[in-house]
Chain A
Amino acid sequence: MHPAFSVLVFTVMSGAGYGLITLMALGHLLGLPQLQDSSVLLTGGVVSFVLISGGLLSSTLHLANPKNAWRSFSRFKTSWLSREAVFAVLFYPFVLGYLTNIWVNGAEVNAIAQLTGFGAALLAMVTLFCTSMIYASLKTIRQWNTSLTPVNYIALGLMSGSLLLAAVQASVAGDLSSVLHNLAIGLVVLGAVVKLIYLFWIGKPAGSTINTATGFTQASVRLLDQGHTSNGFLNNEFGYTLEANKLMRLRVLMVGIAFVMPFFLLLTSSAGLLALAAILTIIGLLVERWLFFAEARHVVRLFHGDQRV
């Protein structure tokens, strides 16, 4: 699949924002001592708000006819994209209520904080899940059509969120909470494990072949002619191919920037290096998302001569 830059930015940024607000609100409402400070909460809230809103705005950039984007709320019953849009909008009153309440009443856990905070955390996770299901529900792309896809999206969203939360808490409050620190280390390890399982899983060949695509299942089939003299929509959208050696290098780079380097920076527990770890993870996840697209092979490629997907 052709990786659309606006979609990469959208999924990574909003994933980190949703992860951050979820962990922060839960920590605050469940009484984690280091998260009872209103300036930490407001800073974290604003960071997540900017990431989510920036991501959502970027996602509309890949629409070819954005003037009809408002209609995307209308097929909630069947379309994961529609569900994502509905929950993303529903999230806003909750997060704004939650942050306004902190602005006015401080970090005190009152009924409004509980309602809006738990609501925002829940809707953040539901939206992230819907985003992942847009990809996971496509039977045409074997590398996406798996329950590993939502697991990846949620684990990596929480992971980047936890790094941001630790960085925000350490730089605003001055000293690092060991709970948040350990949580970030744990989630980085979890994220790496989940990603490695995914990379291992997509390595196994399975699914449709050029034979099932053309219906000639008892003989070999080779493409002679695609039937056009220059590339069309299908070639540009689905024909993206990555050379094997470049792929391996990018995978190593991705694991290094998104997981290994942040892990070692976390061991140092200095506020500056924590912020660096969070930024590195987000850059690493952009590479991860790019690979998520570049490695996905749509079955239309079979009609264009690939023997299997």
Chain B
Amino acid sequence: MSKIKHMIGKSIEKPDARDKVTGQALYPGDINLPGQAYMKVLFAERPHAIIQDIDISKAVKLPGVIAVLTAKDVPVNEYGLIMNDQPVLCGPGSKKPFAERVRFIGDQVALIIAESESLTEQAKKMINVEYQDLPVISDAREAKNDHGKLVHPDRESNVFCHYQIRKGDLEKGLHEADVIIEGEYITPVQEHAFLQPEAGIAYIDEEDRVTIMVAGQWTHEDQEQIAHSLDLPPDKIRVIYPAIGGAFGGREDMSVQIDLALAAWHLMKMGIHKPVKTIWSREESIIGHHKRHPYFVKTRWGATHEGKITAAEVELVTDGGAYAYTSTKVMGNATLMCTGPYEIPNVKVDSYAVYTNNIPNGAFRGFGGPQGAFVAECQVNKLAEAINMDPVEIRMRNLLREGSLLSVDTPMPKGVTIDKVVHKCAEKAGWKNTDKGWQAPAISKKNTDIIKHGIGFACSYKNVGFSFGAPESCTAKVELHGKDTIEHAILYHSGADVGQGAHTIFIQFMAELLNLPLEKIHLIASDTARTGQSGSASASRITFMAGNSIVGAVNNALKKWINNERPAIAEYEFRPPKTTPFDPQTGKCQPNFSYGYVAQVVDLEVDTQTGKIKLDKVICVDDVGKAVNPLLVRGQIEGATVQAQGYALMENFIQKEGRTYTPTLSTYLIPTILDIPEQINSIILEEADPIGPLGARGMGEMPFLPFTPAVVAAVHAATGIWFDEFPLTPERVISKLHEKG
């Protein structure tokens, strides 16, 4: 038996890979059911208005049109992941106050259900909506202080979330500093651009459940939100995930889920038993789902000549867009991470999330972490320059270590390894640890009049799992079959495989723990009728949370097996150590139970004639605790790095007055294979997390965080210019270079 052990740490083949390379894998849009109808959404396509009237009379008369649904057809016309502030359908006729208001261009007004897709298109054009346009609120900084113009008239202010941290004595800390660096930063909106646009199919299953096959990140949360809007008990709703075409946080909130459920349920009530299918176009996808939050930041940090950071003050304002989505949680992370992985004695942070008429912002890989990291790392790099100290050396003098107090005044969970990560990354990039401290390598490449080289350093930490008191747990169920020995095992788990390889990891855990060959493990995944609550595939939590749930369920099942139960069936709900919310005055809290740590060095060249930045090499050191599948880890590091490259250098999402100017993949440019770095050197550290499953930490988001500030530091090294706003498109770079002269 010993020969099959050690499934952990092996790059085994993904169980879904064969179907994906032969075209057999079914994504939501690939599923067809007999007699299916089609659904299309009528989007508002205007940022702020009151709907006076919706006339559907012509549309419903078109032969082949089955139904047209509006606000009055939604039993409970509201939804939202953290607060129910969004109407399912905007318009008059529902009980939800102010639901007749349209608050961003992607607000939905009507659902058209017909025998064919082209009929839905035709009928859509026959719907007449009377709008009364309202002034557009598009600047979060203005909206923050303007209580006259409200996005949600039932609230007193556009600010819907405020946190503050008060640690130590800021003024004293600034007084102790020899240098103070002030900064104003702006981070951009980013679009997920997962390759599979939103799609799904809904039907009534054999147990009369409204069943939705869709690509999401959290089956049970989808189920709950659908149940709320349809006013049905959750067990009357069934959510199933087939293959998912990328997510990155962009499928954390509802898109087509409630619409599809509503349509199938409505048809059933009309006595029509027809599945309903929908596929969004790329443009509908881009206006229809949330984005990464832009941040507007003012900050000042102080340090002594010895490189000790004495104080940090940060004000964060973010644009939440029209609805809250996960803004409050994203802001929690940014509030914590804007002072970096450093122990700073005196900290003052104030953060505000503000409603506007822009596309809502929400979950996106890193979840507030990248914005926070950008501020912290740029500030530290500028402090280092100001006191003439190496950027690695200043970090070494301030990094969080075992027992360090965070800005929120509680110690870090055990297993802090950021110093090891920084050490390794610096060494790999040619830094020397001399008796005068760390020293950067000399740039070996020759600058010309036009081409300038630079390298930049940054490091970050990112929580694993839900934070700040959010309920956190994950359930697994295991069945062991056989007589004398275990012949095969079945795992029931909801954890979503969004492409990262979660299901591969689950199977590896099972094989390792049961000492079974891979082919003896069967996985039943992501179906609320069969699998338990797992929480979302987000927050770098799935390996950690699901891994722990599988360990627990296997242990319980083995106990039953020993007691001769056949099959031995056991469930286990893993709950990590509790976290707590920010104290309203001081911010004091236990924010997280686990972290992952990462450092990066970026080596690049700037063409000072064209403004083009070319990435020569990226070194990424990531402590993943235990690499359950090293090739999957590598895939995450490279994928995150290139996504971060898009964020830092090219992705320019343009909204003006609430309208989107980049609704396609030819106007919103993401990295192609010609844009990527010459080389990405991924270095995996395995410093076990004391409470991780077999030591594993989360890692899917971490490599995204330090990338942009490392690029900015490298560009500064090359040109002498600090960029406090990105993406660093050639136009932005050139105009700054000209300014400098």
Are A and B co-members of a single complex? no
